[in-house]
Amino acid sequence: MFGFGLTVAAIGMGIVFLELVLLIIVIKLITLASNSLSAKHVVTKKAVPAKVEEQDEDDIVAVIAGVAAYLTQSVAVVNAIKRIDGVSISAWSQAGCQETRFLRQ
């Protein structure tokens, strides 16, 4: 009886292992297909060094607006974004401290 249980367990684990290997292969094939399709649609642009900083700032503004919209669960309008100079802690630490203070009220 003990040998039968080990046989059933070994067959079950073997089937699960084979399914996981097949799943890995399918995911790799999908990734390769996706990369080959997206590589065909890439358009190369000339890099302009002067606009890199402006582009980065636009990306930062877009991320801040997205986070604000997510947190308010509605359309958010960002009126102003100001850099904080002379702060001794990181922005993430400062946000955590503000959230802790808000939750204690």
Task: Using the predicted structure, report yes or no on whether residue 88 has a pLDDT greater than 90.
Answer: no
Q: Which of 36-40, 57-61, 73-77, 96-100 has the highest mean pLDDT?
A: 96-100
Higher pLDDT, 39 or 42: 39
- CB–CB of 76/69 below 8 Å? yes
- CB–CB of 61/81 below 8 Å? yes
pTM above 0.75, yes or no: no
Q: How far apart are CA 50 and CA 48, in angstroms?
A: 6
Higher pLDDT, 102 or 76: 102
Mean pLDDT score of the chain: 77
Residue 1: its pLDDT value, please?
63
Q: Which of 13-22, 51-60, 68-77, 89-98 has the highest mean pLDDT?
A: 13-22
